[in-house]
Amino acid sequence: MSPRDVARLPDGTHLLHIGPQKTGSTALQFALHRQRARLRELGVVYPGPGVRGRYALGAGLGYSTPKGGRRPTQKAWERMLAEVHDPSARVVCVSSEAFGRATDEQIAETVSALGGARPHVLAVARRYDRLLPSQWQQRVKARVTLSYDDWLRVVLGPAAPRDAVWRNVWVPHDTVQLARRWGAAVGSDNLTVLVADEHDHALLPSVVEALLGVPPGLLASGDEVVNRSLGYGEVELLRSVNLHFAAQGYDDELYHRLVNRGLVRALVTSPRHPDDPPIPPLPAWAWAPLVERSRERVEGLGRLGVRVVGDPSALLVPDEPPADDTAAASGSDGALRIPLDVVVRALGGIVDGAVRDRETDES
């Protein structure tokens, strides 16, 4: 189906956007949050009050929340349920990347609690060679200490369902299994898979606008920088901090305040430094597994018979990798150079986190 042919969902639908991670979810959630009042005027409820209902979902359905962050409360969950079940709502929309990592039991509980009488699930599929570099840096933001190459060898190695590193990629991004599991809960006719377009960042919000029946452009990205991917120098700097915290045995709460809410926030809310290179392309050894996985994904989606918006063949990874340009990510001697401004910004973020930590302790 062409994105232009996406029609408004019937009144009474509860749209569950399940991500997964690194497919444009955060930008969409910020737009839904920013337009919450206008959406409400149009009969669309986006449960609040925050950008995403992370802590409400943690309290009610057991989804993970940031280690060291505040504890989920039952009050937040009850407030979300009250909004989700507002009888005056024409359509309800709940968006969370955590849904993409749900167990079968959580899927059933999520649909029962949030799906209403007419649930509809939206998932986004992104080409694997474009996804994995972004996914690695996202996991480093979540305290992973593995180098890019070591992480790829776990992810692209033999199936390891008990390994958290492997699971964090393939539970949400094995699109066929994801669609099959959620389709079993809501019905395959009530599930849409959107094929991401690397060159069109407005695609996801425009499709959601069509599904919700709201004016085009309402959910366009604002001027704020939200959850951008880190440059190669930034992510290696953060990984070094992760290794230091692990070696010192510092607790989760301290990490959350100093690094998550300090260092990482300082980096991702500022534009990337022009001299900080992107994460290198995938190494040649990683290509063959992705070619096979992407072919299986496209064929599997065809067999499932779910609604696919966009061209599934766009998910295919080319048989041969592009020309090697990894040298652009390092100096002529192969060493990665981190711009001083990046280091200063990161240190400033940690200092800000420490000040907030002290103010919290003294309040």
Alpha-carbon gap, residue 76 to 178, rounded angstroms: 28
CA atoms within 13 A on the CB side of 174: 17
Q: Identify the pLDDT of residue 246.
A: 95
Other CB atoms within 10 Å distance of the CB of residue 344: 11
Q: Positive or negative, the Cα torsion across 273, 347, 25, 90?
A: negative
Residue 112's CB is within 10 A of a number of other CB atoms, namely 12
| pLDDT reported for residue 363 | 31
Tell me the H-state helices in 85-202.
104-114, 128-141, 148-155, 164-173, 175-186
Tokens found for residue 246: 């692990």
Calpha distance 201→199 (Å, rounded)? 6
Mean pLDDT, 10 residues at a time, the chain of 363 residues: 96 98 94 97 95 94 90 94 96 97 97 97 97 96 96 96 96 98 96 96 96 97 75 96 96 94 93 93 92 96 94 94 55 71 95 74 36
CA 211 to each of CA 9, 120, 121, 220, 260: distance values in angstroms, whole numbers, following the listed order: 5, 10, 11, 15, 34
Residue 326: predicted pLDDT: 41
Structure tokens at 317: 């990874």
CA-nearest of 132, 341, 351, 135 to 233 is 341
d(CA 128, CA 244): 31
Residue 57 tokens read as 């979902």
- As a whole number of angstroms, the distance between CA 209 and CA 309 comes to 14
Distance, first Cα to last Cα, the chain: 55
Instruction: State pTM to two decimals.
Output: 0.92
Contact 281, 322 (CB under 8 A): yes
Burial class (CB in 10 A: 0-12, 13-18, 19+), 117: exposed
HEC string of 52-74 equals: CCHHHHHHHHCCCCCCCCCCCCH
User: Quick one: pLDDT at residue 225?
Assistant: 61
Dihedrals phi, psi of 308, to nearest 5 degrees: -115, 125
* Half-sphere exposure in the Cβ direction for 164 (13 Å, CA): 6
Q: Give the three-class secondary structure for 354.
A: helix
Q: Are 274 and 150 in contact (CB under 8 A)?
A: no
**Separation CA 182–CA 178 (nearest Å):** 6
Rg over CA atoms, the chain: 21
